[in-house]
A = this chain, B = another copy of it.
Amino acid sequence: MGRPKKFDPDRAVEQAAETFRAHGYAETSPQTLADSLGIGKGSLYNAFGSKHDLFLRSLERYTDTSLTELKAVMDTDRPIRERVRNLLIGFVRSDLDDPDRCGCLVVNSAVEVAPADKSAALLLGRSFDATEAVLHMAFIAARESGEIGPDRDPKALAGLMQSTMIGLRVLAKTRADFDRFESTIDAAITAI
């Protein structure tokens, strides 16, 4: 009963994540949001309550799909070093392919929003933890299978790879070509 929604809330949240990713939280106005979702401002507030609520939902969705994508790469049946390399290359490439260098919503929000927003910080912390856990597991498996030496610490490697990933994506904000990242990625893989 009642008038049905003209838009798919799930898709709207997805699109909102995209808009927040592109412009940042502060620079995304309710009007911009409504326009990008193709609905009126009234509908937006009716459906999502507030800009902040919508942001949190967007962030949640984004972290979910990011984790899924990460797992997709890491569950491949390839050598661990190749999988990690693909991961790093993939992130840098996709960041550089975007002429606007919008980057990753998680990284962006951790920097822009987290310090002043407890609930966002919680989601982001969980996302970072989940990412680290996936890498951690992969390194544990790789050590068991003998792919990496028994002297390697899976947790430490997971932490190093995650930090490197994030650092590279921040650096990509100001750099133009992939060449500048190649040797860094090599060094990261060599560290495994």
* Cβ A173 vs Cβ B114 within 8 A: yes
Which of these, B108, B162, B180, B183, contacts A171 with CB under 8 Å? B162
Interface residue? A55 (CB, 8 A):
no
Interface residues on A, range: 35 or more
A167 to B116, CA, bound (A): 19
Q: A26-B26, A27-B116, A184-B163 are in contact. Are A107 and B170 (CB under 8 A)?
A: yes
- Closest residue of chain B to A168 (Cβ to Cβ) is B163
Bitwise interface map of A from 48 to 77 toward B, beta carbon under 8 Å scored 1, else 0: 000000000000000000000000000000
Q: Which residues of B contact A85 (CB under 8 A)?
A: none
A76 to B113, CA, bound (A): 36
* Cβ B101 vs Cβ A173 within 8 A: no
Bitwise interface map of A from 166 to 192 toward B, beta carbon under 8 Å scored 1, else 0: 111011011100001101101110110
Q: Which residues of B contact A24 (CB under 8 A)?
A: 26, 112
- Nearest CB of B to A133, in Å: 13
Interface residue? A89 (CB, 8 A):
no
- Known interface pairs A26-B26, A156-B187; 15 further A-B residue pairs with C-beta atoms within 8 A, sorted by A's residue number: A24-B26, A24-B112, A26-B27, A103-B115, A108-B112, A110-B173, A110-B174, A155-B183, A159-B187, A162-B171, A163-B188, A164-B167, A166-B171, A167-B167, A188-B191
What are 9 A-B interface contacts by the 8 Å CB criterion?
A114-B174, A125-B175, A128-B175, A155-B183, A156-B184, A163-B184, A164-B164, A167-B168, A191-B191
